């Protein structure tokens, strides 16, 4: 990934990027880890990752629950909790 594109104003922040790297490496991040551009971040995460514990973040889950456009992601999170 190009360094410039990561931090361009329409892309994700450093906080978002750190969280994304942890998701890609299946590493848990603190539930309270700050996220800034959640809508941009969600688009960079694979749907299957929303069924894993390492995706759990208060701001991310709240954002998904509050936005009906993310029904697939919401369903995947619910699938995780149903296990």
pLDDT tens-digit map of 5-36: 545 556 899 999 999 999 999 999 999 999 99
- CA distances in angstroms from 38 to 65, 76, 82, 83, listed in the order given: 12, 17, 24, 26
- Could you tell me the pTM of the whole model? 0.85
Length of the chain: 83
Q: How far is Cα 34 from Cα 58, in angstroms, rounded to an integer?
A: 9
Q: Tokens at residue 58, please?
A: 């208060």
Q: How far is Cα 24 from Cα 69, in angstroms, rounded to an integer?
A: 23
* pLDDT of amino acid 8: 53
Strands (E), the chain: none
In this predicted model, what pLDDT tens digit does every residue of 39-74 receive, in sequence order?
999 999 999 999 999 999 999 999 999 999 999 999
Radius of gyration of the chain (CA): 12
Domain limits, the chain: 3-82
Backbone angles phi, psi at 30, to 5 degrees: -55, 140
């Amino acid at each position: 990934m190009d360094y410039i594109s990561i931090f361009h104003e329409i892309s994700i922040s450093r906080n978002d990027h750190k969280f994304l790297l942890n998701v890609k490496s299946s590493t848990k991040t603190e539930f309270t880890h700050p996220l800034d551009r959640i809508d941009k971040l969600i688009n960079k995460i694979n749907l299957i990752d929303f069924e894993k514990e390492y995706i759990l973040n208060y701001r991310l889950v709240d954002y998904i629950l509050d936005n009906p456009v993310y029904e697939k992601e919401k369903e995947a999170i619910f699938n995780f909790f149903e296990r």
